[in-house]
Amino acid sequence: MRSFFKGYLKFFIGFGILSAIIMYIIYNTLNTYKPLPVYQPSNVSADLVDTTMQYQKKYHKIADFSLTNQNGKTITQDNYKNKIYVADFFFTTCQSICPVMTDQMVRVQNSILNDSQVMLLSHSVTPDIDTVAQLKRYAIEKGVNDKKWNLVTGDKKQIYDLARKSYLAVKDNPFAGKYDMIHTENFVLVDKKRQIRGFYDGTNPEEVDQLIKDIKHLEKEYTL
């Protein structure tokens, strides 16, 4: 009888050890951190990318820039050094998707108010109209927090190049001037290395919800 139970005891001990190993493997598989993708020009719809770089498959980063914000302050890449940030393109007189995008960006702003790692950056695609004074009025009207969110204007060619060659977020306008742009609803998530880590429809609350989650997810990348 003792040998009978002894045999079963060995079985249950072995079964218990095997079960613990399996549970450990499952737990670690489910909880393994999966980083957000890094987007390259070749991964993005061709109509959003300058023709000179549509086939670039690696090493893409946001270029240096120097623009002016709603307070008349010069904003460069240094203001976003070691920051995660969300960028978009808009214009203050837009009556279609821009008001919705701005309302959704306010949601993002409110979610990161106390997060020192994250900022926002909105570029005007009509810098000739969106003067510093105009951007300031718009910022006050929309509840922009100057410490978290820069609305910028500046040289039209520079903004065009940033849009088409860096953020991959606007379409060319072949029926207008050389540097005219058709901005999209895209919010662009940029990491601390100036790499694009996500595109989100800024008019879709569910996608903006995902953006807010992905910001937190991206932050974990710097704690591993």
Query: Per residue in 140-176, pLDDT tens?
Result: 999 999 999 999 999 999 999 999 999 999 988 876 7
Residue ranges per structural domain of the chain: 1-32, 41-220
- Residues 7-24 have pLDDT tens digits of 555 555 655 566 556 654
Which residues lie below 8 Å from residue 172, measured CB to CB, with a gap of 6+? 47, 164, 181, 182
Q: What angle do CA 131, 135, 136 make, to 5 degrees?
A: 115
- Residues 176-224 have pLDDT tens digits of 777 888 889 999 999 999 999 999 999 999 999 999 999 999 999 999 7
Question: Is pLDDT of 25 > 60?
Answer: no
- Superfamily of chain region 41-220: Glutaredoxin (3.40.30.10)
Strand partners, 196: 39, 190
- Residues 29-74 have pLDDT tens digits of 455 889 999 999 999 999 999 999 999 999 999 999 999 999 999 9
- Dig out the tokens for 126 from the structure: 């009509």
Cα distance between residue 207 and residue 195, in whole Å: 20
Cα distance between residue 67 and residue 86, in whole Å: 16
